[in-house]
Amino acid sequence: MDRRTALVGLGSLLLTGCAAGEDFTPPTMKLSDSFTGKSAEPVRKNDAKWWQAFNDPVINRLVEQGLQQNLDVKRYAARIQQSQGVVDGAGYPISGNARVAESKIDAGGGNPTVRTGFVRTEASWKIDLFGRLKREREAAFARLDAAYAELDVWKLLFVEEVVAAYIDLRYAQELLRIQIRVLDTRQSTLDTTLKLADEGNATDLEVAQSRSLVLSTQSNIPEARIEFVKRINRIVALVGTTELANRKDLDVKAPQPVAKSHIVSTGVPADLLRNRPDIVRAEQRLAESVALLGVSKADLYPQLVLTGNVNVNVSGAEVLPGAGFLRLGLDLPIFDLPVRKARIETAKGLIAERQADWEKEVVLAVEEVRNAIFGLSQHQIAVEASKEAVIASREVLSIAQRRFAEGSVSFLQVLDAERSLLNNENAYALDVRNQARDFVDLNVGLGGSFAQT
């Protein structure tokens, strides 16, 4: 090898440098082959909008509008812009500045004024011998990816919250409807009791009990209305506005949301590592900490800086001879070496913390999905059973009312039938609500955007 070749090779080595620290390797974790113990196939996210499974145009409009107006979504979208700015300036090896000055000198004696000035520029180039700038760029890109994942987290949380709020709105509305129906039923029972009392077939006690139940039900209705209006106001706030334009869609009679299908392709637990934005966010934060460790390690080594300076002076229209210099400097970490070593230990601690954060996110994600799968299946059973209970209770009440009017059964039997129907209708409304919420929890737990089959 001749001398020229050796110098070229050495120059290339200095220019490209080597990278202190380690390249990031995505973390892994031992996971089971399925959520339920049954065989399952991996799935990938797609563009399916799971909330459309409710087949409710109001939900669709709320989600679409809210993703554009929700204040948390806007806030985290702005953080992406901040992180992008950091990326654009991260690891840039050249820095510099320029200065321009001008002055006027009065020569006196009628001589013209002389303009003088100078232009001074200075630039420095950090030669990345040990990969410090490279690791800075890696950290910045990881921070940017984490910001994108953070936005996805908040979008998913918003969709979850607004759909859940709508489910609770219709649940509150159903409870209000039940109270109004109960009032009608008990008013009818009171009318029958008064008629029987006039005929001598009902006691004053039965009349008083019946009237008390009517008044008690009337007192429950305002509270039910208050809860219903609160749910409306909550949704309006979630969408990100103080306007009441959405009330026309919300303050109308509508059934409780029911997904057209409760069968979701859950995939396998390992899918969560790439499909859940909170896990992706935790991974990118871990990647950032690994890159920052490389930055700290690179600070233990000398830093080579090439600095240049050029000065140009001007007097009138004449450019005077300028001056400049070119200097190669070596920054040696001698006096603050203990501080730099301490930064390495701090960076290692950050890696350990974020590794634990990632593992915790995975464990909690698997737990959430398993709970939602089991809850969805059990509430489906509960919905079917409580629906049959409502049908049976209505039949019992109808028979009891007819026989009470005939005088063949007591008022207490009618009262028991009314209470049984009220309890079963409330239970059915709650089961429908819980089943819908489990459907939401499952799709959110899987990371969203999965097709229902």
Q: Is residue 271 part of a domain?
A: yes
pLDDT at 8: 41
> CB-hemisphere CA count at 13 Å for 319?
5
Taking the C-alpha atoms of residue 413 and residue 278, their distance in angstroms, rounded to an integer, is: 55
Q: Please report, as a single letter, which amino acid is at residue 263.
A: I
Note whether 77 and 158 are within 8 A (CB). no
Q: Is residue 113 part of a domain?
A: no
Q: In this structure, what token pair is assigned to residue 380?
A: 């489906």
pLDDT at 371: 95
Phi, psi of 44 (to 5 degrees): -120, 155
Would you give the distance in Å from CA 215 to the centre of its chain? 46
Taking the C-alpha atoms of residue 157 and residue 163, their distance in angstroms, rounded to an integer, is: 10
Domain count of the fold of the chain? 1
For residue 425, give its domain range.
Answer: 30-92+131-302+354-445
Taking the C-alpha atoms of residue 22 and residue 90, their distance in angstroms, rounded to an integer, is: 19
Taking the C-alpha atoms of residue 185 and residue 420, their distance in angstroms, rounded to an integer, is: 13
Who's near 445: CB < 8 A, 6+ residues apart?
A: 276, 365, 368, 369, 372
pLDDT at 181: 94
Biggest alpha carbon–alpha carbon distance for the chain: 132
Q: Each residue of 397-443: pLDDT tens digit?
A: 999 999 989 888 888 999 999 999 999 999 999 999 999 999 999 99
Mean pLDDT of 230-251: 80
Who's near 420: CB < 8 A, 6+ residues apart?
A: 393, 396, 397
E strands within 152-267? Answer: none
Q: Is residue 244 part of a domain?
A: yes
When mean pLDDT is compared across 31-35, 65-69, 102-106, 262-266, the lowest value belongs to 102-106
Mean pLDDT of 151-178: 95
Q: Is residue 287 part of a domain?
A: yes
Would you give the distance in Å from CA 378 to the centre of its chain? 27
Taking the C-alpha atoms of residue 139 and residue 295, their distance in angstroms, rounded to an integer, is: 9
Taking the C-alpha atoms of residue 448 and residue 437, their distance in angstroms, rounded to an integer, is: 14
**CA 125 vs CA 94, 134, 319, 436: distances in Å:** 4, 14, 28, 60
Q: Please report, as a single letter, which amino acid is at residue 328.
A: L
Q: Each residue of 250-288: pLDDT tens digit?
A: 888 899 999 887 677 888 889 899 989 999 999 999 999
When mean pLDDT is compared across 22-26, 92-96, 181-185, 212-216, the lowest value belongs to 92-96
Nearest-Å Rg of the Cα atoms of the chain is: 37
Taking the C-alpha atoms of residue 34 and residue 40, their distance in angstroms, rounded to an integer, is: 6
Identify the CA nearest to 354 among candidates 260, 282, 439: 282
DSSP letters for 71-88: HHHHHHHHHHHHHHHHHH
Mean pLDDT of 58-71: 88
Q: In this structure, what token pair is assigned to residue 75?
A: 């806030």
CATH number assigned to the domain comprising residue 205: 1.20.1600.10
The total number of residues written for the chain in this structure: 453
Strand partners for 96: 123
| Res 86 pLDDT > 80 | no
Taking the C-alpha atoms of residue 302 and residue 403, their distance in angstroms, rounded to an integer, is: 99
269 secondary structure, DSSP code: G
Strand partners for 439: none
Q: Is residue 342 part of a domain?
A: no
Q: Is residue 37 part of a domain?
A: yes
Mean pLDDT taken over the chain: 84
For the chain, the first-to-last Cα distance in angstroms comes to 68
Note whether 383 and 431 are within 8 A (CB). yes
pLDDT at 33: 86
| Res 312 pLDDT > 70 | no
pLDDT at 113: 59
E strands within 50-191? Answer: 94-105, 114-127
What dihedral do alpha carbons 370, 39, 280, 440 form, nearest 10°?
A: -40
Q: Is residue 25 part of a domain?
A: no
Q: Is residue 347 part of a domain?
A: no
When mean pLDDT is compared across 9-13, 132-136, 403-407, the lowest value belongs to 9-13
Q: Each residue of 377-402: pLDDT tens digit?
A: 999 999 999 999 999 999 999 999 99
